[in-house]
Amino acid sequence: MFRHVAMFRWKPETSTDAVADIVEQLNGLPAEIPQLRAYHFGTDAGINEGNHDFVVVADFDSADDYVAYRDNEKHRAISSAFIAPHAAERAAVQYGF
């Protein structure tokens, strides 16, 4: 299994509506990217102080399949139009297990 993890800290002005739009857009990606084996994203539960605000975890059969997701045109359009304008910080790791 090869996993991609990306975390975001939103800008102070980012609204809950903007985050709902991001969730709606990401929900459409599994239908566009057959390489996705599992795709679970969401907003921090608020249990701990100092956390990032949102995380995306995407599972693939291989690193090549992750790269297909990373470079997918629809995914890149969502990242540019819906996510990047709200991202104050981003942290990411890809790893195999």
Residues that bind a copy of itself (CB under 8 A): 1-3, 5, 7, 40-45, 47-48, 50-55, 57, 63, 66-67, 70, 89, 91-97
Q: State how far the Cα of 97 lies from the Cα of 21, in Å rounded to an integer.
A: 32
CA distance 53 to 72: 24
Contacts of 83 (CB under 8 A, 6+ apart): 8, 22
Smallest distance, Å, CB 92 to a copy of itself? Answer: 5
Nearer to a copy of itself, 32 or 89 (CB): 89
User: Least distance in Å: CB of 24 to a copy of itself?
Assistant: 15
